[in-house]
Amino acid sequence: MRPRFVLLLLTMVFSAFVSVVLIGQKPIVLAQRDKIQNLFVEDPRPLAKAAELLEHRFGWRITYEDPPYVYIGDLVDNTAPEYRGPLRALTPAGRQINVDYPISTKTGKLDDPRQMLQLLLDAHTLLGNPELFRFMQNGEVFHIVPSQVRNTSGVLMNVVPTLEVPITF
């Protein structure tokens, strides 16, 4: 190898600061380059894990509501092989989110949390995750809620978030 190429390669490797935060069993990786952060999450509930990370990193308050999982292709059977009973241990299939987002050079933080949450939802959709979500804001609290899920046939359908259903007596 040429010395210049090796030097360039080493400079590129050391110019990126990478930290890995383990939440549960799956890694969440943050990389910082020129005030652009990268958020990568791989988890059965990637939006929930990403929201948890953003809460810890920026002090935001974010709630997350799981969608109703009815399409068998969106679930993984994690039942122990030795179990012979009728019930199954089903969890959402593992998914990913990967998004770059800007950090203010003045404050070292995000200027607009709404922009970050929209980037997160867009990345979730673009990476082929089957559920569609939206976010709402009530004061200082953000809520990530499902808007569309796959039905038993695998076709997207609108869904009303459980916590938005009026309760009457």
Q: Does 67 fall in a domain?
A: yes
Instruction: Name the stretches of the chain with pLDDT < 70.
Output: 1-34
**Predicted local distance difference test score (pLDDT) of residue 23:** 32
pTM confidence score? 0.73
**Predicted local distance difference test score (pLDDT) of residue 27:** 45
Q: Does 11 fall in a domain?
A: no
The domain total for the chain is 1
pLDDT digits (tens, 9 = 90+) for 110-128: 778 899 999 999 999 988 8
Tell me the percentage of the chain whose pLDDT exceeds 70: 80
**Predicted local distance difference test score (pLDDT) of residue 2:** 53
Q: Does 117 fall in a domain?
A: yes
Quick one: residue 5, left, alpha or beta (phi over 0 = left, psi -120 to 50 = alpha)? alpha
Which structural domain, as residue segments, surrounds residue 142? 19-164
Collect all residues with Cβ–Cβ distance below 8 Å to 168 and sequence separation of at least 6.
none
